[in-house]
Amino acid sequence: MRGGADLAKPIRLVAGLGNPGRDYARTRHNAGFWFADALAAKLGASFANETKFSGELARAGSVRLVKPSTYMNLSGRSVASLAQFFGIAPDEVLVVHDELDLKPGEAKMKFGGGVAGHNGLKDVRAQLATPDFWRLRLGIAHPRDSALTEQQVVDYVLKPPGAEEEAAIRGAIARAIDVWPAIADGDMERAMMSLHTKEKKDS
């Protein structure tokens, strides 16, 4: 729950986190970019480079989508500059990111909280000067919970997932896209219930 925040407040900015460039395009750390691309396609929007906002920007009605063109640890620069310029409050922002603590195929919503060592989230929190924004967490699993137990996290997130993992992650993205109308309207309770129900049915 949102601790007294307006439950009906629509989302005005969606920030998919990742690293720019072809070398990173298929890596686990770019799951947020995958979501942003899928949502833009769903909404019929196209990304264009906006150096003023340090990212690629798309617009669909009253919602703006951004893929920061900085590297992951500077993601907040793009998010905060857009929020400030367009007068978007932190609780009207949805940040989409890879999540080590969820399995591939899982997607969960949350509001506020910590960053669990995620450098992109850490910078967004610092630049917005608050943790009180929405997050859509896309599971990629932790190397300790897979056959890659000896792999360092930094290496793991910067490698492409296996075919089955990628299919599971993209399936979770598709389910999140299905509940986008509720997310966009700010009906997060309905979005979360629907998303988590879909996840159980597909498991």
By annotation, the residues acting in catalysis are 29
CA 53 to chain centre: 18
CA–CA separation, 44 and 129 (whole Å):
32
Q: Region of 21 please: left (phi>0), alpha (psi -120 to 50) or beta.
A: left
Q: Which two tokens stand for residue 145?
A: 């919970």
* Cα distances (Å, whole numbers) of residue 8 to 91, 142, 183, 187, 203: 11, 34, 10, 6, 30
- For the chain, the C-alpha Rg in angstroms (whole number) is 16
CA–CA separation, 25 and 9 (whole Å):
32
CA–CA separation, 81 and 21 (whole Å):
22
**Contact status, residue 32 vs residue 40, Cβ threshold 8 Å:** no
